[in-house]
């Protein structure tokens, strides 16, 4: 679902106003981190009332998760190159390198907060991760429909683990963050053969 559709369904804010608000939340999150971020600060920064924020997003975990979802530079739902391998490489190409680096720091901080805060963990899974996994599964299903990927290939369920996992593991294994060159090599060396893409 697009930001616009969500806005129409859930709020009386204009889509522009909503985008502005999400951007401000993500900006605040980068500045102070999840724990120190307050609904008061969001209200001040976005010139909203706290009542509006709570009415629209229920609470801080939900607002943060929704803001992150709408600030992603690209969604798997927007990519359809005609092959799964092409789609995976295109995801990497759509991420600006400098922005990815900033996002890695943001997501590391959030992951830490989420493992200590069950409400945030649940909100991130429901509002950010699950919807994107749905888009991902649709991308993989298109490869099955095209006959590129066997429907019963046991690696099929692990495509998200492979992609996220490689990026998560690199700082620990090599001491450096993933970059586009790493990601493209990893897709060709590991993901494509594991899926036996034809």
Residues that bind its own copies (CB under 8 A): 108, 111-112, 115, 121, 125, 129, 133, 154-155, 157-158, 160-162, 164-173, 175, 185-186, 188-191, 193-194, 196
Estimate the crossing angle of helix 130-145 against helix 84-93, to 10 degrees.
Answer: 140
Terminal CA-CA length for the chain: 31
**Closer CB to its own copies, 54 or 158, in the complex:** 158
Tell me the closest approach of the beta carbon of residue 155 to its own copies, in angstroms.
Answer: 5
Residue with smaller CB distance to its own copies, 46 or 100: 100
Minimum CB distance to its own copies smaller for 125 or for 142: 125
* In the complex, least distance from residue 82 CB atom to its own copies, rounded to whole angstroms: 23
CB of 194 to its own copies, least distance (A): 4
Token pair belonging to 168: 């998560």
* Closer to its own copies by Cβ: residue 39 or 162: 162
In the complex, the smallest distance separating the C-beta of residue 55 from its own copies, rounded to whole angstroms, is 28
Q: Given 3-state DSSP classes, what are the helix, strand and coil percentages for the chain, each rounded to the nearest 5?
A: 75, 0, 25
Secondary structure class of 59 (helix, strand, coil):
coil
Q: What are phi and psi of 49, to 5 degrees?
A: -90, 150
Separation of alpha carbons 124 and 58, rounded Å: 14
């Amino acid at each position: 679902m697009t930001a616009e559709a969500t806005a129409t369904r859930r709020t009386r804010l204009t889509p522009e106003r909503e985008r502005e608000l999400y951007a401000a939340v993500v900006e605040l999150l980068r500045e102070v981190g999840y724990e120190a971020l307050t609904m008061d600060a969001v209200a001040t920064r976005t010139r909203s009332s706290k009542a509006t924020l709570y009415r629209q997003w229920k609470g801080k975990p939900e607002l943060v998760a929704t803001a992150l979802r709408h600030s992603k530079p690209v969604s798997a739902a927007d990519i359809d190159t005609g092959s799964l391998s092409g789609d995976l490489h295109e995801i990497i190409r759509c991420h600006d390198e400098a922005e990815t680096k900033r996002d890695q720091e943001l997501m590391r901080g959030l992951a830490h907060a989420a493992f200590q805060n069950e409400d945030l963990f649940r909100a991130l899974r429901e509002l950010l991760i699950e919807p994107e996994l749905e888009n991902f599964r649709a991308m993989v299903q298109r490869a099955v429909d095209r006959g590129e990927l066997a429907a019963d290939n046991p690696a099929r369920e692990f495509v998200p683990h492979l992609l996220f996992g490689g990026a998560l593991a690199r700082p620990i294994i090599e001491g450096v963050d993933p970059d586009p060159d790493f990601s493209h090599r990893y897709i060709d060396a590991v993901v494509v053969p594991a899926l036996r893409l034809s």
